[in-house]
Amino acid sequence: MTKRDYRSNFEPGTTRWAIRRAQWRALGLTDEDMQKPKIAVINSSSEISICFSHLDEVARIVKEGIREAGGLPFEIKTTAPSDFITGAGRGGRYLMPSRDLLVNDIEVAVEGAVLDGMVCLSSCDKTAPAHLMAAARLNIPSILVIGGYQACGRLHNKPVDIEDVFESVGELATGHITTKDIEDMCEVAVLSPGVCAGMGTANTMHIMAEALGMTLPGSAPVAASGQRMRDFAREAGRRVVSLVNENLRPRDIMTPAAFSNAMAVGLAVSGSINMLRHLQAVASEGEIDANVYDLIHQLGQKVPLLCAIKPNGSGRIDELEASGGARAVMKQLESLLHRDVMTVTGRTVGENLADVTVGDGVIGSLDQPVRSGPSVVILRGSLAPQGSIMKLGTGKAAAFRGQCRVFESQEDAMAALARREIKGGEVIVLRGLGARGGPGVASASWFVAAVNGAHLGEEIAVITDGQLSGLNRGFTIGQVMPEAADGGPIALVRDGDTVAINVEARTIDIELSESELEHRRAAMPAFVPNEKAGWLAIYQDRVQPLTQGGTLKPGARMDQSATAQKQKSP
């Protein structure tokens, strides 16, 4: 590619050439600079969350790498959603919509300026999927830099991390600890920048980015405070310039076969169930023929659990990094992967894995796994005809049957837990929290964390159409589809109904006759959107079902409540 081929080099004498030249000359750019490939450095740095607090320094390193390779970097600041900070408002309703806001934020900045490529600094839960979605949508040469995980401390000679803090409210409610104990935990739980130190959604999506081929091999997981992360950042800056010159684009890399590879890796590490909606959203944005829910069925029995990182087991995320990380997991899965898939290195998956060795530690093999597969399953039945998702991790009870207690909000469920009204053997249903009904996939994760802190995680079942955290554990079933707002059967459940869950049979059923369900459905009022203004109103009006990744589409929103039963099951 010659310099004149860069799309950012406008025709001299045109209006857009003239006004941009005036702006950039005022910034101190030279004529030589303006002929270089122009690279966006997408930075979600923010002073509001430790997840992002180091990204300005990472951006500086990336820009140095871009300049060293002959490119011209432009740092672009975007919205910075952090689950543990942004989740405080409106019951976590801003979290899922923040992902799609970020995608559109990137489109406006990069397409509006007609830049040639981009490097995305991925940190907390929603940034990595948003960056992959934006790359798929814009389809300009792109690479992700993984921001890394945070360091954690010790209290009373025991390790303490953010997951322990997350579950501490439940322990407080049941009298196991005091408020002072929680304060002491907060002092040592997070000791450096970076994301939660476990196999939560952030580390899962970092690993998914590498498995898709959109990061440099060896990038995930990585300690945010380590030199390895900085080295990858500099090399990514250099590499993106070559990607532009080679015209290697995201849709050349994120093919259907690449999604199959990513899902195999996701199953091998028992990643957050949120990886499904996020990967489906990436495919949707890129118009890529991949259905990750189908892939779960195709790969589930073939792919064993190769590592059990907290909350799936006792392993730590730093132990996974020391054993070789995602690259080592892919090496162990090599016979099950599509080895001819292209990656951002300009080499195939097979070529990248050729010289990889797996270190001693927490990664098993196909012959000697931690556990046979699958680690994540789709359950269907009369309660979830389009499916629901359950993480098995290192194992769950084969079945659960109990009477329901229904809550329309996480807050009401938390209050009942604090009053010690929730008892073993119950099925707790949190509904009306889905993408449309929440709106924004409102949080049920704080309740689940508190349940585990109260030592009830294996004694009750929790079922929700709302948001779960990758750090959640226990007998928990999320992403019930269709959601209540779209007329799903979860909207028909009443206190005292019996729900039967059979993990081995992959079923989840409400024990009511079809005539009773139809009677309740006929009496159920139509869903009325409750947001009248602001971003949540826009999201509620335009969001598609999570079977399609929960992406936004332009134009009038179809009546999903009328069409919910007709949609293809995942």
Q: What is the pLDDT of residues 118-164, one digit of tens each?
A: 999 999 999 999 999 999 999 999 999 999 999 999 999 999 999 99
Q: What is the pLDDT of residues 324-359, one digit of tens each?
A: 999 999 999 999 999 999 999 999 999 999 999 999
Coil, strand or helix: which one is 410? helix
Task: Give the CA distances from residue 306 to residues 134, 211, 361, in Å, rounded to whole numbers and listed in that order.
Answer: 31, 15, 11
What was the pLDDT predicted at 102?
A: 98
Distance of CA 434 to the CA centre of its chain: 16
Tell me which CATH code domain 377-523 carries. 3.50.30.80
Residue 569 has pLDDT above 70, yes or no: no
- 469: annotated active-site residue: yes
544 neighbors 553 (Cβ within 8 angstroms): yes
Q: Across residues 285-305, what is the average pLDDT?
A: 96
According to DSSP, residue 112 is labeled H
Strand partners, 467: 443
Q: pTM for the whole thing?
A: 0.95
The CATH 3.40.50.2300 portion of the chain extends over 36-151+192-353
Percent of the chain with pLDDT over 90: 92
Fold (topology level) of 36-151+192-353 = Rossmann fold (3.40.50)
Residue 79 has pLDDT above 80, yes or no: yes
Q: Across residues 57-86, what is the average pLDDT?
A: 97
Residue 369 has pLDDT above 60, yes or no: yes
What was the pLDDT predicted at 4?
A: 53
What was the pLDDT predicted at 19?
A: 97
Residue 376 has pLDDT above 70, yes or no: yes
Q: What is the pLDDT of residues 47-71, one digit of tens each?
A: 999 999 999 999 999 999 999 999 9
What was the pLDDT predicted at 555?
A: 60
Q: Which of 117, 45, 121 is nearest to 77 (CA)?
A: 45
Q: Across residues 284-310, what is the average pLDDT?
A: 96
Q: Across residues 175-201, what is the average pLDDT?
A: 96
The CATH 3.50.30.80 portion of the chain extends over 377-523
83 neighbors 95 (Cβ within 8 angstroms): yes
From the candidates 8, 469, 515, 569, which is the catalytic residue?
469
Q: Which of 41, 129, 118, 47 is nearest to 80 (CA)?
A: 47
Residue 560 has pLDDT above 70, yes or no: no
Residue 372 has pLDDT above 70, yes or no: yes
